[in-house]
A and B are shown apart, each in its own frame.
Chain A
Amino acid sequence: DAKTTQPPSMDCAEGRAANLPCNHSTISGNEYVYWYRQIHSQGPQYIIHGLKNNETNEMASLIITEDRKSSTLILPHATLRDTAVYYCIVTNQGGKLIFGQGTELSVKP
């Protein structure tokens, strides 16, 4: 599975958009980009995933660059409850989800 690189921490003001970057320069053609988050002392929560096209759901948007070597998760209007560790994972269908260190997002009032 391709390795991902994320900043260890980020801050965001409440109500503003949170843009979380992820580098996955060794991604292969059949690998998807998945985003999960983990709020303190809880199980991780699925957010969104994509292959080539940008994706949007009720939680977030996922922007994947044309060369697929990086992506950005966008929380359009961050709230205090979005404070969590966000994990970007790249793997193929049927592959195992291997978690890296993620980005600790702090949403501040």
Chain B
Amino acid sequence: GAVVSQHPSRVICKSGTSVKIECRSLDFQATTMFWYRQFPKQSLMLMATSNEGSKATYEQGVEKDKFLINHASLTLSTLTVTSAHPEDSSFYICSARTSGRSGANVLTFGAGSRLTVL
């Protein structure tokens, strides 16, 4: 079946540094990917929709200059958390639409990336 690979799975960084998280569709092409974040004991919150070859669409309240999204190819989207601060510590999860199934919202999710900012 469809697989979405996310890297790194865990990252610890110092406050003020930038961190890049990669999301790859391994055996299918994904024109649309989604980025979510999840705080402990809370549900997933959609951050942005990443479209191959165009600018990402951010949800209300998500700072586009802080969370840079690049979707340069049909199999890779990246999320860069710029100038990270402790409040950015969270579980970041990407997903991709898998084509070929009826119902366009069948998403395959990555395993998530846990970011800890010291």
Contacts and interface: CB of A to CB of B under 8 A. Distances in A.
Interface of A: 32, 34, 36, 38, 41-46, 49, 51, 87, 89, 91, 93-102
B84 to A, nearest CB: 20
B105 A95 contact: yes
Contacts of B4: 43
Contacts of B46: 96-99
Given A96-B34, A97-B46, A99-B44, A43 B106 contact: no
Given A32-B103, A91-B105, A43 B111 contact: yes
Given A41-B112, A43-B111, A98-B46, A93 B105 contact: yes
Interface size class of B (residues with CB under 8 A): 20 to 34
A32 B105 contact: yes
A59 to B, nearest CB: 12
B106 to A, nearest CB: 6
Contact of A97 (B91, B107, B110, B114): B107
Contact of B112 (A34, A43, A94): A43
B58 to A, nearest CB: 12
Nearest to A32: B103
Given A97-B46, A102-B43, A42 B111 contact: yes
B95 A43 contact: yes
